[in-house]
Amino acid sequence: MLSPNYLQHIADGSEEIASQLHTYIIRQIIDRMMIRIGRGDDYLLTSSDRWRIQILQDAGYLLEDITAELSKITKRQEKEIKAAMEEAGIKALEYDDKIYQAAGLSPMPLTQSPALIRLMERNYRATLGEWKNYTRTTAQSAQRLFINECDMAYNKVMSGATSYTQAVKEAVENVASGGITLVQYRSKNTGDIRNDTIETATARAVRTGIAQATAEITLARMVEMKWEVVLVSAHVGARNVGGIPENHELWQGKFYSLPQYGHRFPDFYYSTGYGDITGLCGVNCRHSFGPSDGENNPYDPIDTEENRNQYEKEQRQRTLERRIRKTKREVMGMQEAVDKCKDESVKFEMQLDLDRKSYLLQRQNKAYNEFCKENDLRTQQERLQIARWNREQAAKARGAARRYQNAKGKEE
C-alpha cells in the first residue's frame, strides 16, 4: 500500500521534465515569430505566395528543432518513469509483506517474481506510450500554432484590420498565454472536452500509471496468498461528488473482502469501483489498498463535512496555482519576445505589456499566500514552479512589476 501523499508527488519528476519541454517549445515559437514578423512592417509587406513559402519553411525548421529536443527529453523521461515505477512497486510490497509475514506466510520479493515484474513492465510501457503520444501531438500543435499566428498577423496588417504593432503583440500574447494544449478526454460530469497542457497530462498519466501498476501487483500478491481482507487508504480532501464509484469519500479508509476468498466485509470490486476510471486507482486517484487483518485500521474516520470543506479549499488552491503558472509562462514568453524583437516601436509596446503582466503575477502571488494563510493550507511552492523560472527571471519580473506600479501611481 502507498500513502496518498506519496502518490500525490510520485509524478513530480516527470511533470518537471514535461514542463521544461513546454517552455522550450513556447520560446522556440516566439523566437521564430520574431525572426519572421518582428523586424518591422516593411519586412512584413511581401506577396502572399512568398510569405506562405517563408512561413512553411520556418515551420519545417521549427519542427526539426522540436523533434531533436523531444528525442533528448524522451530519454530522460524514460529513465524517470521507470525509476519511479520500480520504487513505488518495491515500496508498496514492503508494507504488504509485513502483513503476510505476521500471518506466517513467506511472500517472494518483487525482484524475484517474474509474474509481478511482467505486470510492472506492461504498465511502464503503457505509461511511456502515453507520453510519446503526447509529444507527437505537442510537436504538431506547435507547428500549427506558429503557422496560424504568423498568418493571422500577416492578414491583419495586409487587410488594414490592425496596425503592425498591434498584430505582432496579439500574436505573441496568443502563444504565450495559450501555450500548447492537448485535447484529452470528455468530462464525465459536464460532457465538456478537457484541454490540458503537456505537463498536466503527463503528471496525470504517470500518477495513474504508477497507481495502477502497484494496484495490480498488490492484487496479484493477495491472490497468490489467497488473502481475503483489503484495507483502502484515506485522505482529507477526497473527491465527494456523485455516487459510487466516483465519490471517493464514500469508500475510503474501510475494510473490504475479495469475494473469491470470503464475505466478511463488503465486496471490494463493487464497493470501490476498482477497475473503473473514476473509481479506486482510476484517473488521478491518490488512494491505494493492501492486505489487512480486518481489525487494525490506521485511518481515522474522516468527518464528511470537514472533508467536503477541505476538498473545496484544495480545489480553490489548485485553481490559484494554475493561474500563477499560466501567468509565469506568459511573462517568460513576453520577455523572450522583448529580447528578440528588432523593431523598436513594437519592442516598447511589448515591454509595457510585459510590465503589466508582471504586476498581475505579483498580485496573484500575494492573493495565493493570503488564501493559504487564511485557510490553514501549506503553500505548495513546488506546484508554482515552471521550467526555467529561476532567480534571474523572478528578479526581472519584480522589476517589471515595480515599473508598472510606479507608472500607474504617477498616472493616478
List, for residues 213-222, the tens digit of each pLDDT value: 999 999 999 9
Confidence of residue 269 (pLDDT cuts 50, 70, 90): very high
- 152 exposed, middle or buried (CB, 10 Å; 0-12, 13-18, 19+)? middle
Q: Tell me which of 36 and 120 has the higher pLDDT.
A: 120
Task: Report whether 111 contacts 93 (CB < 8 A).
Answer: no
SS3 268: helix
Instruction: Place 83 in a pLDDT band, splitting at 50, 70 and 90.
Output: very high
Q: What gap in Å lies between CA 230 and CA 270, rounded to an integer?
A: 13
Q: Please give the average per-residue pLDDT across 60-70, as a whole number.
A: 89
**pLDDT for position 182:** 75
Q: Where are the beta strands (DSSP E) in 107-158?
A: none
Residue 245 and residue 238: Cα distance in Å, rounded?
A: 12
Per-residue pLDDT reduced to its tens digit, 276-305: 989 999 988 999 999 999 998 988 777 778
Residues in a beta bridge with 183: 195
Burial 9-39 (b: 16+ CB within 10 A, else e): ebbbbbbbbbbbbbbbbbbbbbbbbbebbbe
Per-residue pLDDT band for 412 (boundaries 50, 70, 90) equals very low
* CA dihedral (166, 168, 170, 173) positive or negative: negative
pLDDT for res 292: 92
